[in-house]
Amino acid sequence: MILDKVNNPTDLSDLSFGDMAQLADEMRGLIIKKVNTIGGHLGPNLGIVETIIAMHYVFNAPKDKFIFDVSHQCYSHKILTGRKEGFLNPEKYLTYTGYTAPEESEYDLFKVGHTSTSVSLASGVAKARDLKGEKYNVVALIGDGSLSGGEALEGLNNGAVLGSNFIVIVNDNDQSIAENHGGLYDNLRELRENQGEAENNFFKGLGYDYYFVKEGNNVEALVDTFKKVKDIDRPVVVHVCTQKGKGCKVAEENREAFHWILPGALDKKPESFAAEESYNSITNDFILNKVKSDKTLVAINAGTPGVFGWDKAFREKLGKQYTDVGIAEEHACAYGSALAKSGAKPIWAVMSSFVQRTYDQLSQDLCLNSSPITMLVYWGGISSADATHLCTFDIPLIKNIPNMVYLAPVYKEEYLAMLNWAVEQTKYPVAIRVPNLELVSKGEDKTDYSILNKYQVTQQGADVAILGLGNFYPLAEKVANLLKSEFGLNPTLINPRFITGVDEELMESLKSNHKFVITLEDGLLDGGFGEMITRFYGGSDMKVLNYGAAKEFTDRTPIEELYTRYRLKPELIVEDVNSLL
Amino acid sequence: MILDKVNNPTDLSDLSFGDMAQLADEMRGLIIKKVNTIGGHLGPNLGIVETIIAMHYVFNAPKDKFIFDVSHQCYSHKILTGRKEGFLNPEKYLTYTGYTAPEESEYDLFKVGHTSTSVSLASGVAKARDLKGEKYNVVALIGDGSLSGGEALEGLNNGAVLGSNFIVIVNDNDQSIAENHGGLYDNLRELRENQGEAENNFFKGLGYDYYFVKEGNNVEALVDTFKKVKDIDRPVVVHVCTQKGKGCKVAEENREAFHWILPGALDKKPESFAAEESYNSITNDFILNKVKSDKTLVAINAGTPGVFGWDKAFREKLGKQYTDVGIAEEHACAYGSALAKSGAKPIWAVMSSFVQRTYDQLSQDLCLNSSPITMLVYWGGISSADATHLCTFDIPLIKNIPNMVYLAPVYKEEYLAMLNWAVEQTKYPVAIRVPNLELVSKGEDKTDYSILNKYQVTQQGADVAILGLGNFYPLAEKVANLLKSEFGLNPTLINPRFITGVDEELMESLKSNHKFVITLEDGLLDGGFGEMITRFYGGSDMKVLNYGAAKEFTDRTPIEELYTRYRLKPELIVEDVNSLL
């Protein structure tokens, strides 16, 4: 193996271009095997191998600084920078994260995982260099899909006037996670199809010098161009055309499905992913059914349709009633707000971790205008995810904005009732936290959700009341059962349903025969649901215990470990209650 | 007056271009008089009068839809759409808001006040129109300064592919609030200087048809071009060059200072604004002093230097150590984070209402990387501001992000000690809520702020402890005094200093001889400081009362009315305590 001879980037200098082509294939083989074993980003990592080899061949990292966008394409960078064991040895597959990680290596500058940040970050690095009077290259690597995000565009605008060395490599594989959307992509296509020539070059229009590399999977072509821009004294874009999923036929042919894969995905037929009924499937059935009779319903998302199971067939069925805005959550929110205000029925699906990418738009464009949008927030909850993709923060983010109605369903019919109400009502921005629960049926839900902040008492008891919000309602049931079996208590059990407000009448009534209220929420405690309840009882004799996540960035921490740490287990909660009884 | 004949837009059709020119001058006279009387946006409203006349002359509002960016330029639109009394009659000056307001008029579509939203909102309006099979023009009006915001750029990218009527009027007065920054502005300059020709037209690069109007303060030229794009079947940009502040000499010559003015500003000499020592002045003195010995300190802001008193003299003194990123808070945050990570010392100043425009960057780019930035948050607190510019939400927004240290100083030396610590330390992202208080001196502060979450006990007492956070520390003092004089109590008084964490040792110690804890914070209660304290005491016998703002969008509500509504007055708080004693 050529890789045997490569332990750090300087070892590349001994290789011929032929060697490097072979090295690229070897690295791709390792990436395919590892990703198919533990899951991860496949397509982005396969297409970029030659670019990263050429970057390390031409530039002098870590003195020269590489800033990766999303950093989901950094695997070959890790292989070349002293971390190849994490790819060669299956026992070490989990040693290194799937993103750049400064704690792992001096070759990694930032912990990143969200899109569109690299150009802004790189411009700060370049500015620090200039202020200190230092000399080195600053190189941002950003994919075409990431260019649609506002932060990337703000960064490009500002990077253009740095007046010093600033190199932006645009990795154009003609694909975001799904397809690209927007006028910018017509410009990229024109450039791709005309050897880097366009009537109005978007990058030149912003003031960048511009280089084009048609053969972005040819190390020699890349090296040739990178040498031209090395040590350049001004901002430059190098537009590199690559093949997403290169070297893995199924990933080349199904660029969306194999962008990120679960373990073993390469061994299965795609059909096997189609699963039984789930919150995703019933949501999508609801939407498909609704559009039959309502031409104003629009399903919106920002570049991640796969998260919601919005596959090509689904998208085609919706036709003009489907909008993927690209990776542009701010626009998605404002666009949806305006649709709602104009009498259409937008359903905007967004992953909890990415709803963070739009706060002001939630507040100003949406809630201040009370636009009756339906937001579906997916994956919200404590998880063993990477620190960059935690879904623990959506409740404090969304819940504390005036006018918003944020709902936490627990079972199938309740979810569908909330969804239907949200879509048909015209008064409120409504967000629904799609449960991370097995789909269970509990019978018809005839609740009138227009009566806000009305909690559901599912078991009337005394002494202790347990509020199990959304995903944690089953935990509340377990706590109630344990309190009964261990202490003979008969707790009151409550499904709050509404995250955004207190059922004051119910909470007031509990005072008469309850001493304790327990709140359980699958997310950050700080600024969350439980604190709101506790504040309500602040001046009373009621004791309130809040359970949820602590304020911290966890990083691939096993979920059971987190549940123990946060005492989110029936026996631990009962232990706490007992100590106060 | 020509205006006597104009009560709604259709009346314009009877006017000659000469009449309309005169009408424009009349309207400018009214705007100047009104703004100089009650304050408001001067420059933006004066420059756009002819454009708005021409829009209403050519298009058929309210059937055709106008969406205003920021909407701080909508005064002449209000005059033409049935609201001229609000400008003619000084007694009605306050009848209409300074922004578009759907509750006032069917000609106004959205309540807006933050920047860069119009193109996204307009694209949603256009999409709804197309889905319903309706026919009308959708027109967004956006200033050159607003184009630097990510939401605007996301919107332009998506608007370009709507495939139907979509008209973006770019009002280019070659000025943001302060000067513009970024590569895009070189492109606009090239277009302005070459009759709309550029080697790479930024808008055409995104896929827009493009029209140029050199004489943007000439109604006839505007009408001529608007007629060409009316009923167009595709996205188009009309680039209009206008004179900011037109018709008011001092505003034409001082475009930044007269963008927004206080009442009477036109009657004063600019010098009279220079005031005595304030939190602004001591901050700026601190920065100017620091840069003398530290070439890596960078003062950053996103397009609003005037808020911080960062005038031209200040900016010139800083030279390369000053960065205005344009209206691009996301970029400001990431850029600052990277500077901090690269060993520079960024101080990023931001107004509370605008920090909302960057949440994901605070979380991912900044806090996840623990970048030692210093953020200065200005104007945070309850106010009588417009609904679009409330500063009540920054505490829940910032406080609940892991790794962040958010400080609330109360007096001069404490603020300066915190500021110096924040700039010199290298471990934490530190935000400081610059007090909305009169500057008072209480003597040297030698606190070691690297010991996090250590509150200051300013008066040791018993029974009742009052935590007066930042701006509300003086209120806490008043409550303590009243409890003493009315009930003979000797309350404990605490300056918490740290918004982001609980002083657990101190809070624990209070349990021994206190029955009540009162928290006072100048901002939203939901997700704020007080709830965190209340949660700490949830399982104990301590009663906790939280005071702050309710979750609502207030709109120009007098601050005294809000203080009463929220019971933020010493006598009301004491009344509450008494009812529980």
Q: How far apart are CA A64 and CA A134, in angstroms?
A: 11
Count of CB pairs separated by less than 8 Å, A with B: 407
Q: What is the pLDDT of residue B276?
A: 86
Q: Which residues on chain A are in Cβ contact (under 8 Å) with B342?
A: 124-125, 128-129
Chain B environment of A184 (Cβ under 8 Å): 157, 160, 205-207
Determine what percent of chain B is predicted with pLDDT higher than 90: 97
Distance CA A80, CA A107 (A): 10
Residue type, B525: L
Interface touch A535/B527, C-beta < 8 Å: no
Interface-testing mutation among A142, A335, A532, with chain B (most B C-beta atoms within 10 A): A335
Amino acid residing at A420: N
Q: Report pTM.
A: 0.96
Q: Report how far residue B4's alpha carbon sits from residue A82's, in angstroms, rounded to the nearest whole number.
A: 79
- Whether the predicted pLDDT of A276 surpasses 90: no
Per residue in B325-335, pLDDT (tens digit) is 999 999 999 99
Distance CA B128, CA A343 (A): 7
Look at A368 and B323 and tell me if their CB atoms are within 8 Å. Answer: no
Q: Is pLDDT of B27 > 90?
A: yes
CB within 8 Å: A186 and B201: no
Residue B122: its chain A contacts at CB < 8 A? 338
**Cα separation values, B377 from B178, B351, B432, B561, Å:** 19, 6, 6, 25
Q: How many CA atoms lie within 13 A of B116 on its CB side?
A: 30
Residue B369: closest C-alpha in chain A: A111
Query: With contact defined as beta carbons under 8 Å apart, do A183 and B156 qualify?
Result: yes
3-state secondary structure of B160: coil
Average pLDDT over chain A reads 96
Average of per-residue pLDDT across B474-497 = 97
Across the interface, whether the CB atoms of B204 and A202 are under 8 A apart is answered: no
- Which of A114, A139, A151 is most worth mutating to test chain B (most B CB atoms within 10 A of its CB)? A151
pLDDT over 90 percentage in chain A:
97
Q: Report residue B238 as tokens.
A: 């009309």
State how far residue A518 is from chain B, nearest Cα, in angstroms: 10
- For B456-472, the pLDDT digits (tens) are 999 999 999 999 999 99
Quick check: bond before B62 cis, omega within 30? Answer: yes
pLDDT of residue B271: 56
For residue B45, how many C-alpha atoms fall within 13 Å in the half-sphere facing its CB?
30
- Closest approach of B323 to chain A, Cα-based (Å): 10
CA–CA min distance B44, chain A (Å): 21
The answer to whether A87 and A94 have CB atoms below 8 angstroms apart is: no
CA distance B89 to chain A (A): 29
Q: Do A128 and B368 touch (CB under 8 A)?
A: no
Inter-chain touch B131–A321, beta carbons under 8 Å: yes
Distance CA B189, CA A91 (A): 58
Residues of B in contact with A163 (CB under 8 A): none
Residue A153 has its nearest CB partner, among B153, B160, B368, at: B153
Chain B residue numbers touching A339 (CB-CB < 8 A):
124-125, 127-128
Which residues from chain B sit within 8 angstroms of residue A183, using beta carbons? 156-161, 206-208, 235
Rounded to the nearest angstrom, the minimum Cα separation between B305 and chain A is 17
Torsion angle (degrees, nearest 10) of CA B518, B522, B524, B529: -50
* Element holding B467 (H helix, E strand): strand B463-468
Min Cα–Cα distance to chain B from A124, Å: 4
d(CA B392, CA B526): 11
Residue of A nearest to B208 (CA): A183
CB neighbours of residue B147 within 10 Å: 30
Residue type, B461: G
pLDDT tens column, A550-575? 999 999 999 999 999 999 999 999 99
Confirm if A485 and A450 have CB atoms less than 8 A apart. Answer: no
CB contact under 8 Å between B183 and A160, yes or no, is yes
* Mutation choice for A interface testing from B99, B112, B136, B158 by most A CBs within 10 A: B158
Residues of B in contact with A518 (CB under 8 A): none
Q: How many helices (H) and strands (E) does chain B have?
A: 23, 18
β strands within B119-215, DSSP E: 138-143, 166-172, 209-213
Q: B444 to chain A, minimum CA–CA distance in Å?
A: 33
Q: Is the pLDDT of residue A273 over 70?
A: no
The CA distance from A281 to the nearest CA of chain B, in Å, is 25
Give pLDDT tens digits for B352-378. 999 999 999 999 999 999 999 999 999
CB-facing half-sphere around the CA of B357: CA atoms within 13 A: 31
**Residues of B in Cβ contact (< 8 Å) with A360:** 114, 151, 356-359
Question: Is there a contact between B186 and A526 if contact means CB atoms under 8 Å apart?
Answer: no
Q: Which of A70, A331, A498, A545 to mutate to test the interface with B (most CBs of B within 10 A)?
A: A331
Contacts of B183 in chain A (CB under 8 A): 156-161, 206-208, 235
Q: Which residues of B touch A357 (CB under 8 A)?
A: 359-360
Which residue in A338, A344, A400 is closest to B524 by CB distance?
Answer: A400
pLDDT score of A270 more than 60: no
Rounded-to-integer distance, Cα B106 and Cα B81, Å: 9
Contacts of A390 in chain B (CB under 8 A): none
A527 contacts in chain B (CB < 8 Å)? 396, 399-400, 526-528, 531
The pLDDT-based confidence of B178 (bands split at 50, 70, 90) is confident
Interface contact flag, A337 B124, Cβ < 8 Å: yes
CB contact under 8 A, A527 and B399: yes
Segment A434-457 mean pLDDT? 97
> Alpha-carbon Rg of chain A, whole angstroms?
26
DSSP 3-state helix, strand, coil percentages of chain A (rounded to 5)?
A: 45, 15, 40
- Chain B closest CA to A444's CA: distance in Å? 33
Q: Residue B425 forms beta bridges with which residues?
A: none
Task: Sort out which chain A residues have CB atoms less than 8 A from B567's CB and list them.
Answer: none
CA distance A119 to chain B (A): 9
Whether ipTM tops 0.90, in short, is yes
- So what's the pLDDT on residue B272? 52
Distances (CA, A) of A490 to A462, A463, A494, B111, B347: 6, 8, 13, 50, 56
Candidates A207, A235, A360; nearest CB to B356: A360
CA distances from A380 to A395, A548, B92, B280 (A): 8, 12, 49, 41
For residue A39, give the nearest of A239, A259, A205 by alpha carbon: A259
- The residue of chain A with its CA nearest to that of B345 is A128
Nearest to B397 among A161, A323, A359 (CB): A359
For A150-189, what is each residue's pLDDT tens digit? 999 999 999 999 999 999 999 999 998 889 999 999 999 9
User: In this predicted structure, what is the pLDDT of residue B270?
Assistant: 57
CA angle B402, B403, B406 (to 5 degrees): 95
- pLDDT tens digits, one per residue of A284-313: 999 999 999 999 999 999 999 999 999 999
The 10 Å Cβ neighbour count of residue B481 is 14
- B232-284 pLDDT, tens digit per residue, is 999 999 999 999 999 999 999 999 999 999 999 999 865 555 568 999 999 99
CB A354 within 8 A of CB A306: no
A274: pLDDT strictly greater than 70: no
| Segment A23-58, tens digit of pLDDT | 999 999 999 999 999 999 999 999 999 999 999 999
- Answer yes or no: do A202 and B200 touch at CB < 8 A: yes
For position A568, what pLDDT does the model report?
98
**Cβ within 8 Å, pair B365-A208:** no
Q: What distance in Å separates residue A496's CA from the closest CA in chain B?
A: 17
Question: How far is residue B35 from each of residues A527, B89, B384, B578, measured CA to CA in Å?
Answer: 40, 13, 18, 46
Chain centroid offset of residue A491 CA: 38
* Beta-carbon count within 10 A of A115 CB: 31
| Cα of A329 to nearest chain B Cα, Å | 9
Are A330 and B150 a contacting pair at CB < 8 A?
yes
pLDDT confidence bin for A416, thresholds 50/70/90: very high
